[in-house]
Amino acid sequence: MKRNATFLCGLAMSALLQLTAVFNSNAQNDGTQNDDFLFQLELPNGAKPTYSQSNTAGGWGYAAFGPDVTAPISGELVWYKPDTLGCGASTQDLNGKIALIRRGTCGFHQKTLNAQGRGAIAVVVVNGNEATHMDDLFSPNMALDATLPNTTIPAISICRSIGSLAIPEIDKGNTVIANFIFPRMVSAFAGYDYAIPVSQVALLDNVGFSFTNREATAIDSMIAYAEIHEPGGNVTILESALPSIPVGTADTLILFEYTPPAVEGEFEAVFYTNKYTEPRDTLRRKFVHTKYTYATDNLQLQLDGGADRNDLFVTGDLLYQVASMIVTGDNGGVATHATFGVANIDSVYVPGNDLANTLTIYLYDGDADSDGRLDLDGDFSVLEIAGIGNYILTGTEKEEVLLDVTLYNLLGDAGVTLLANHYYYISVQYNGSEAGTGRNCAFTNTANVPYLSYLTEGGAFRQTAPIFLANQLNTWGDRTVVCRLQMEGYTPASVGVKPSLLDDSKYTVAPNPASDHMRLDLDLATQGTVDISIINPMGQRLYSQVLKNFQNGQLNLDVQKIPSGTYMLVVRTAEGLGLRKVSICH
C-alpha cells in the first residue's frame, strides 16, 4: 500500500535498517532523561532485577541535571552517611561507589552535589514514605535547580518497591551492586496506534523493535522473532534470519509484516532473538482492536494533573495544541467525535467568558497531496482542515471524565468522511490570550506510549502524538495526551457533550462570492462574545474579529486583502459554532 512510504519502519518485510540516533539519542545534555539505559541490581542471592525508565510503573525516574549516561556504570550501592537524606555534611569515602540517598528535606540536585563531593560515581534516590510520596511504584523525576552548579555525575530515582530489595541487604552489611546498563533491544512497535477500530484493520508493516550491537565483534546468524498473542488464544510466530550486524551498529530496526485478524480484543507482541536470553532481551508491546476508537494513548488514564508548563505556554504566544495521528484502513469510514479530557479546570476556567473557555477541535488531513509523506513540518497551520468541532468549558470538568465533541465537515454536516489508507490528525487547541491567566490547559494523559518516528514532506522526523507548545512541535517525554477519534457507531458519553453547531437561522452571509466586503447578519438569543474568523484550507486565520456583549445586527467584514479563493467562515458563539464555506473573487 502507498502509505508504507511514509514511515521509517515501512520499507520492507523483516527488514534490517540502520537508523542511528533516531530513537535512542544519548547526547542531549538533559541529565538521565532520554538516555535509554536500564537500572539493574545484583543481589546477594544471585538475582539481577532490571528496570527501565518509567516513573509511574515501578521503573526509575530521571534527573534533569547532570551528564548524559553514554556508557555502562557499575559500583557498590551504599548509603550516604551519616545523613541518609544526603542533606548534611559527610566525611565518607564514596570513591567508585554509587550513593543511595533517601528522598526528603533538601532538593535532589543538592543531594547529588553532596555525594559528588565525596567521590560517588552516581546517585540513586529512593522515594519517601507513602503518606507524602505516592505509592510503592512511583519514582519522582528530579528537577534541575538553576541556582546550583550542575553535577558531573548522573542521578536517578527509584520507587520504594525497588528499594525494598536492596535496602535490607545493605543494612545487614551485604554487598549490593548497582548497574546502569544499556539494552540491546528497545522500542517495541506494533501498529500505527495503540487502539484501532476493528473496521480499520489492515496490514501492519511496523511490527518490530530497535537493536544495537554492543559486542566487540560482528553479530552473525541471529534470528529475530515476533510472537503475536491474539484474542482467543491463537499465537502467530514470525521470524527473520538477519544478515551480519557490524560492530558499533546502533538503532537498527528489525521489522516484520503482520495482518492481524479483524476481531476485537487485546493483542500482545513478544520480541526476542536466538542470541540473547536475559530478561532485558525480551520486549513486549500491546495493542487493541476496538469497536469505534482510535487512540495513541494506552486507554489507561494517568491522573497526575496533566502536563503543566506555563513557562513554555507564555513564551509560545499562549497557544497549546495536542494531536494524535490516525491511519485509516481499506474501508475508510466516517469520523463522528473527538474524545479528550481537561486536567486543570480550576486553573483555566473564566466564569462568564465563553470565548476564553473555548477549545477548538480540528480534524486535519495529514497527507493532502497523497504522496505518502506526512505534511506536518512547521506547525499545525500547514495542514488542511477536514473537520471541526467546538467545546466550551463549564468549570465542572474532571480529569477522570473524558469529553466527547461532535465533529462537523466543512459543509456544516455532522460527521467527516475519511479516505481509505490515509493519514489524519485529530487535535485539540487551547488559546489562552482571551483568558489572560497565563496558564496552559493541561489535558488528561496516560503513560508514555512509544511510536516510530515518521518522515514528513520537508524531511523532518515527527512522532505520532505531537504537541505544539513554545512555538514548536515536540512530545512530552513521559506521557501521551488523550486525544482520540471515534468512528461512526460510537455512542458519546452524556457528560461533556456540547451542541456544537449554530442554527442556520441565526446567521446569514452575503454576498457570497464576495469581492471587497462581506456582510454577516447575526440574530442570537442572548448577548455574549462572538469570535469571527476566515480560515484558508490549511487552517491559517486570514481574518479575525472579536466582539463582546454582542447579540444581533449586521457586521461588515473587509476581505479586500484576502486572495481570491474558497475559505471557511467560522463564527464562535455561546449558542454554537457556525461554519459556512465562502468564496472571495476580486
Res 27 pLDDT > 70: no
Spatial separation of the C-alpha atoms in residues 10 and 327, rounded to whole Å: 13
Spatial separation of the C-alpha atoms in residues 452 and 248, rounded to whole Å: 22
DSSP strand pairing (155-158 vs 565-573): unpaired
Contact indicator for 295, 191 with CB cutoff of 8 Å: no
Contact indicator for 376, 366 with CB cutoff of 8 Å: yes
pLDDT score, position 26: 36
Residue ranges, CATH 2.60.40.3080, the chain: 504-584
Give the distance, in angstroms, between the CA of residue 144 and the centroid of all CA atoms in the same chain. Answer: 22
Spatial separation of the C-alpha atoms in residues 107 and 86, rounded to whole Å: 9
pLDDT score, position 452: 65
Average pLDDT for residues 579-584, to the nearest whole number? Answer: 87
Percentage, residues of the chain above pLDDT 70 = 90
Rg of the chain (C-alpha set): 27
Half-sphere exposure of 205 (CA within 13 A, CB side): 16
Cell, residue 301: 488514564
Its sign, for the CA torsion 165, 170, 176, 178, is positive
Please report, for residues 5, 38, 138, 281, 381, the alpha-carbon distance to residue 188 in angstroms, rounded to integers and kept in the order given: 20, 15, 23, 11, 31
Cell, residue 74: 557499575
Tens digit of pLDDT for each residue in 353-402? 877 888 989 999 999 888 888 888 777 877 888 888 888 899 999 999 99
pLDDT score, position 500: 60
Res 13 pLDDT > 60: no
Give the distance, in angstroms, between the CA of residue 211 and the centroid of all CA atoms in the same chain. Answer: 23
Contacts of 413 (CB under 8 A, 6+ apart): none
Mean pLDDT across the chain: 86
Residue ranges, CATH 2.60.120, the chain: 301-487
> Could you tell me the pLDDT band of residue 434, with boundaries at 50, 70 and 90?
confident
Contact indicator for 196, 289 with CB cutoff of 8 Å: yes
pLDDT score, position 542: 83
pTM over 0.85: no
Tens digit of pLDDT for each residue in 58-114? 889 999 999 999 899 999 999 999 999 999 999 999 999 999 999 999 999 999 999
Its sign, for the CA torsion 486, 491, 494, 500, is positive
Spatial separation of the C-alpha atoms in residues 363 and 524, rounded to whole Å: 27
Instruction: Give the helix/strand (H/E) hosting 165.
Output: helix 160-171
Tens digit of pLDDT for each residue in 217-259? 999 999 999 999 999 999 999 999 999 999 988 888 898 999 9
Contact indicator for 64, 141 with CB cutoff of 8 Å: yes
Say how many Å lie between the first and final Cα of the chain, rounded: 42
Spatial separation of the C-alpha atoms in residues 404 and 577, rounded to whole Å: 16
Q: Among 189, 464, 472, which residue's Cα sits nearest to residue 323? A: 464
Of 262-276, 347-361, 464-478, 531-545, the least confident:
531-545
Residue ranges, CATH 2.60.40.10, the chain: 2-22+184-291
Res 37 pLDDT > 80: yes
pLDDT score, position 539: 55
> Could you tell me the pLDDT band of residue 513, with boundaries at 50, 70 and 90?
very high
- Letter for the amino acid at 487? M
Contacts of 342 (CB under 8 A, 6+ apart): 306, 348, 359, 393, 397, 399, 403, 441, 442, 443, 444
Instruction: Give the helix/strand (H/E) hosting 387.
Output: strand 384-392
Spatial separation of the C-alpha atoms in residues 426 and 403, rounded to whole Å: 14
Tens digit of pLDDT for each residue in 404-433? 999 988 777 889 999 999 999 999 999 888
Give the 3-state secondary structure of 75-127: EEEEECCCCCCCCCCCCCCCCCCEEEEECECECHHHHHHHHHHCCCCEEEEEC
Beta bridge partners of 285: 269
Q: Identify the CATH assignment for 301-487 out of 2.60.120, 3.40.5, 1.10.10, 1.10.3470.
A: 2.60.120
Residue ranges, CATH 3.50.30.30, the chain: 38-181
Tens digit of pLDDT for each residue in 307-323? 778 888 898 888 899 99
Contact indicator for 312, 411 with CB cutoff of 8 Å: no
Tens digit of pLDDT for each residue in 134-192? 788 889 999 999 999 999 999 999 999 999 999 999 999 999 999 999 989 888 888 88
Res 267 pLDDT > 80: yes
Fold of 38-181: Glucose Oxidase; domain 1 (3.50.30)
**Cell numbers 467525535 correspond to what residue?**
337
> Could you tell me the pLDDT band of residue 453, with boundaries at 50, 70 and 90?
low
Q: Among 430, 422, 435, which residue's Cα sits nearest to residue 468? A: 430
Cell, residue 125: 534516590
Cell, residue 219: 553479530
> Could you tell me the pLDDT band of residue 20, with boundaries at 50, 70 and 90?
very low
pLDDT score, position 34: 80
Percentage, residues of the chain above pLDDT 90 = 56
pLDDT score, position 134: 75
456, 460, 463, 465 alpha-carbon torsion, rounded to 10°: -70
pLDDT score, position 22: 27
Q: Which residue has the higher pLDDT, 281 or 135?
A: 281
Cell, residue 369: 497531496
Cis, peptide link before residue 513, omega less than 30° from 0: yes
Res 517 pLDDT > 60: yes
Beta bridge partners of 240: 224
- Which three-class secondary structure state does DSSP give residue 1? coil
- Which three-class secondary structure state does DSSP give residue 518? strand
Q: Identify the CATH assignment for 2-22+184-291 out of 3.90.870.10, 3.30.110.30, 2.60.40.10, 3.20.20.100.
A: 2.60.40.10
Please report, for residues 35, 218, 229, 322, 435, the alpha-carbon distance to residue 472 in angstroms, rounded to integers and kept in the order given: 22, 40, 39, 12, 22
Res 548 pLDDT > 70: yes
Q: Among 262, 149, 266, which residue's Cα sits nearest to residue 201? A: 262
pLDDT score, position 251: 80
Contact indicator for 266, 209 with CB cutoff of 8 Å: no
Domain 504-584 has CATH 2.60.40.3080: yes
Contact indicator for 182, 212 with CB cutoff of 8 Å: yes
DSSP 456: B
DSSP strand pairing (461-462 vs 283-290): unpaired
